[in-house]
Chain A
Amino acid sequence: MARSITARRKTINTAIAWSIGLLIFFPILWTILTSFKSEADAIAFPPKFLFFDWTLENYAVVQERSDYTRYLWNSIIIAGLSTLIGVIIAIPAAWSMAFVPSRHTKDILLWMLSTKMLPAVGVLYPMYLIFIKLGLLDTRTGLVMVLMLINLPIIVWMLYTYFKEIPGEILEAARMDGASLPKEIIYVLTPMAVPGIASTLLLNFILAWNEAFWTLNLTAAKAAPLTAFIASYSSPEGLFYAKLSAASTMAIAPILIMGWFSQKQLVRGLTFGAVK
């Protein structure tokens, strides 16, 4: 860029952008701060920002009351496995769409995406019955399956757009070099698509982690992930700001930290591969 930017312009930009950034981030920051306050400080007027007695007590209370680690473990298993299985099913499908397109490819892709639009609540009771029949109610297996299915269209779509960027000639070269189809996918396509696959895994892990319809409605005590853990704090008797904040912080911290560390892949993933 040949445009010269004055230092003044840059300073103003910086000031505005930082203010807005902090404003958007503020609810999270406030939650984290409050989680270290005593209940009295949490609702003090005027609000206390940094000068209060820092305490870890809330975290101890929350862990004791709700067994955080069990929910955390459920979240990790459910989000992780559902995403992984989804990607394993989606890679061959996306390969087909990207490299052997037919007249129907686009229709199939749009149909898959449209299943995503079916309102979950419309099929809540049938799912409930199916889960009871199959003994899946309040099991991690059941939730892994459901979350895999609701995210599968997005996984296919994302992988499809990433695969389309890979030149077909390279796969043809592999074929000429004697690679069978599974080998072509394992040794050539997948390693080349690693950034795209990583973005897909990340984004869908987050979507599964934060999914809060099926996880609230198909689990009780055993398989409930963090979304349900936090919902248990919505009842008035459990409501203390500092404890709510501690529980909230515990629920979002893993994903927040993971998201920040993998920001680059994630931003790529957030665009769902549809914007370059």
Chain B
Amino acid sequence: MATKASRTAARMMMAPAVIVLLGWMLVPLIMTLWFSFRNYLPLRGGDLGFAGFDNYVRFITSSAFWPAVLATLTIVLGTLIITVVLGVLLALLLDQPMWGQGIVRILVIAPFFVMPTVSGLVWKNMFLDSVNGLFAHAARAIGVTPVEWIIEAPFFSIILITSWTWLPFATLILLTAIQSLDSEQLDAAEMDGAPKIKRFWYIIVPHMSRAITVVILIQTIFLLSVFAEIFVTTAGAFGSKTLTYLIYQRVLESQNIGLGSAGGVYAIILANIVAVFLMRIVGKNLDA
């Protein structure tokens, strides 16, 4: 179905979405680029002129830069690994016959509905707190000194929170994928003499690969810009400062717009590297 008239119509109908997204992408991006070359300090006189690559050099040579990149990758990768592995296991479990499957599914889904500021605060105070948190209570109950998790294990704390939020998502997608597997395929493999573990590796895992791709793509998009969970828990302290958070501090707390914008450009470059990599995989898988 493609007449000239319908192709023209198609272009017109696509236009609003494309135009607003293009504007959304380009206008702030160009402004960020502009600021990144300025010496812009709103609290100390505003725009103090051209800065060349000073901001870029300062940002990347600052002692906080590489730890922030590392922190970002740690949180993204840590959460991805945990949610995908546990998600596969949980999906396999939920696919088994049981009583009250619907209710279990409701329970598992629930964390996805919890806004990040809430999950951050609830975990930080009611579970991870070294005085009144449940973890501390549990530690005392077995005679161990409670740990101040947020300070002593900030990555563990943050990854715990993000994984708790995203595990339902991974589980549900993977469960949907497993359920769409033709059970005759498994029966055939069983007839062919494949033991359970081999059926899992050679039939279920390949069948789920597309779903796993989707999980990784979507989660990466959201995890790269994790903000609120850190904002309300460590506030970037104790080495848990991600790139996002570092830039946020430069812009809003130190009010150094030039420096923050240069950081923003770095973050955009980092995101694009990840994006290109992901888009390759997804593009291949998108021909549905």
- Determine if A271 and B114 form an interchain contact, defined as CB atoms under 8 angstroms apart: no
Which positions 12-52 of chain B face chain A at CB distance < 8 Å? 13-14, 16-18, 20-21, 24-25, 27-29, 31-32, 35
CA distance A130 to B90 in the complex (A): 45
* B141 neighbours in A (Cβ, 8 Å): 46
The reply to whether the CB of B99 lies closer than 8 angstroms to some CB of chain A is: yes
Q: How far in angstroms is the closest Cβ of chain A from B227?
A: 5
The reply to whether the CB of A142 lies closer than 8 angstroms to some CB of chain B is: no
Looking at the complex, which of B59-67, B147-155, B161-169, B195-203 is the stretch in contact with chain A? B161-169
Q: How far in angstroms is the closest Cβ of chain A from B20?
A: 6
* A186 neighbours in B (Cβ, 8 Å): none
Query: Are A46 and B137 also in contact (CB < 8 A) when A113-B279, A123-B29, A181-B9 are?
Result: yes
Q: Choose one: B11, B94, B127; the contact of A17 (CB below 8 Å).
A: B94
CA distance A21 to B94 in the complex (A): 10
- Determine if B252 and A161 form an interchain contact, defined as CB atoms under 8 angstroms apart: no
CA distance A171 to B245 in the complex (A): 48
- Determine if B232 and A234 form an interchain contact, defined as CB atoms under 8 angstroms apart: yes
A-B contact count (CB 8 A): 319
- Chain B interface helix/strand/loop/mixed: helix
Q: How far in angstroms is the closest Cβ of chain B from A69?
A: 17
Query: Are A239 and B107 also in contact (CB < 8 A) when A45-B140, A119-B268 are?
Result: no
Q: Count A interface residues, CB 8 Å.
A: 101
* A270 neighbours in B (Cβ, 8 Å): 112, 169, 172-173
Query: Are A114 and B279 also in contact (CB < 8 A) when A239-B125, A274-B214 are?
Result: yes
- Determine if A100 and B6 form an interchain contact, defined as CB atoms under 8 angstroms apart: yes
- Determine if A121 and B28 form an interchain contact, defined as CB atoms under 8 angstroms apart: no
The reply to whether the CB of B204 lies closer than 8 angstroms to some CB of chain A is: no
Query: Are A149 and B109 also in contact (CB < 8 A) when A118-B268, A121-B227 are?
Result: no
Identify the closest chain B residue to A206 (Cβ): B113
- Determine if A110 and B105 form an interchain contact, defined as CB atoms under 8 angstroms apart: no
- Determine if B1 and A164 form an interchain contact, defined as CB atoms under 8 angstroms apart: no
Looking at the complex, which of A27-35, A51-59, A60-68 is the stretch in contact with chain B? A27-35
- Determine if B224 and A130 form an interchain contact, defined as CB atoms under 8 angstroms apart: no
Which positions 202-253 of chain B face chain A at CB distance < 8 Å? 210-211, 214, 218, 220-221, 224-225, 227-228, 231-232, 243-245, 247-248, 251-252
The reply to whether the CB of B98 lies closer than 8 angstroms to some CB of chain A is: yes
Query: Which of B14, B29, B32, B251 gathers the greatest number of chain A CB atoms within 10 Å?
Result: B14
CA distance A27 to B123 in the complex (A): 8
- Name B's A-contacting residues (CB within 8 A): 1-2, 6-7, 9-11, 13-14, 16-18, 20-21, 24-25, 27-29, 31-32, 35, 90, 93-94, 96-123, 125-127, 132, 134, 137, 140-141, 164, 167-169, 172-173, 176-177, 180, 183, 187, 210-211, 214, 218, 220-221, 224-225, 227-228, 231-232, 243-245, 247-248, 251-252, 257, 260-261, 263-265, 267-268, 270-272, 274-275, 279, 282-283, 286-288
